[in-house]
Amino acid sequence: MEYTITKFAKLAGVSSRTLRYYDEIGILKPARINSSGYRIYGPEQVNQLQQILFYRELGMELEKIRNIITSPTFDPAEALSEHRTKLLAKRTKLNKMIASVDQSLAAAEGRITMSDNEKFEAFKQKLVDDNEEKFGEEAREKYGDETVDKSNQKVLGMSEEKYAEVNRIEMEMKEALSKGMAIGDPASEPAQKAADLHRKWLTYFWDKYTKEAHAGVAQMYVDDERFTAYYDHQQPGTAEFLRDAVHIYTGMNS
């Protein structure tokens, strides 16, 4: 079972150049060199190449692959785990890029009016940034790429009238919320009305509504200080109160 370089390459589905390169960088040496200087590969090389290709498939650099397969003290699991972290970071970066592309596509296609209302622009910018930078990673983990992508697109595609509606609803919600807080009971009618308005408000950004996600967001208002600060601006404890109201509203308080 000995092969010259092209036979070996075809067997493994790589190019002969690749094999010469692997020889050059010392990651895969041929079994021997014959009298004419030809590289001769054997079954042992078949196995080793399989290994190399396996790690290569995972997007790992040849340098690291060499570490794994040559150094006996090297821990493959650790290397893999480290590699996994890298891949996750890449994915996060890609997600951000995609969100940005969606954003500028929306602008390019004229779905959003390029300014004339700066607040409006800033508002959308902020929403998308929030979506991505602040809790984009977590949200994508929990709700999925499509959900977050669509949410971004929905925001970016929003007209100024819609924007006005959103603003009105948010104001109504805050009003109901402060009434509820005056009563002090998140199960009270104004508090539940606030929770319902909050649901309405969310549907402007979300593609589909679920109680679980609603409750999750409400919890986040408490957990993430940036949101807490936003809601507690007028009155401390508002974020927490809203969360309680929403948890009752969604029935996720048990």
Partner DNA sequence: TATACACCTTGACGTAACGTAAAGGTAAAG
Partner DNA sequence: CTTTACCTTTACGTTACGTCAAGGTGTATA
Is 57 near DNA (CB under 7 A)? no
Residue 120, classed as helix, strand or coil, is: helix
* Beta-bridge mates of residue 33: 39
- Partner whose binding site includes residue 147, from a copy of itself, DNA, none (CB under 5 to 8 Å by kind): a copy of itself
Q: Is 144 left (phi over 0), alpha (psi -120 to 50) or beta?
A: left
Residue 114 interacting with a copy of itself (CB under 8 A)? no
CA 242 to centroid of chain Cα atoms: 27
Residue 54 binding: pick among a copy of itself, DNA, none (C-beta 5-8 Å cut-off by kind): a copy of itself
By CB under 7 A, which span of 29-37, 76-84, 152-160, 216-224 interacts with DNA?
A: 29-37
What is the C-alpha separation between 113 and 50, in angstroms, rounded? Answer: 55
Closest to DNA by CB, 23 or 137: 23
Burial state string for 207-226 with b = 16 or more CB within 10 A and e = fewer than 16: eeeeeebbbbbbebbbeeee
Q: Which listed option, a copy of itself, DNA, none, makes contact with residue 82 (CB within 5 to 8 Å by class)?
A: none
Pull the structure tokens for residue 226.
């940036």
Instruction: Write out the residues near a copy of itself by the rule CB under 8 A.
Output: 54, 57-59, 76-77, 80-81, 83-84, 87-88, 90-91, 94-95, 97-98, 100-102, 104-105, 108-109, 140-147, 210, 212
Residues lying near DNA in the complex (CB under 7 A)? 4-7, 15-18, 20-21, 34-39, 56, 61-63
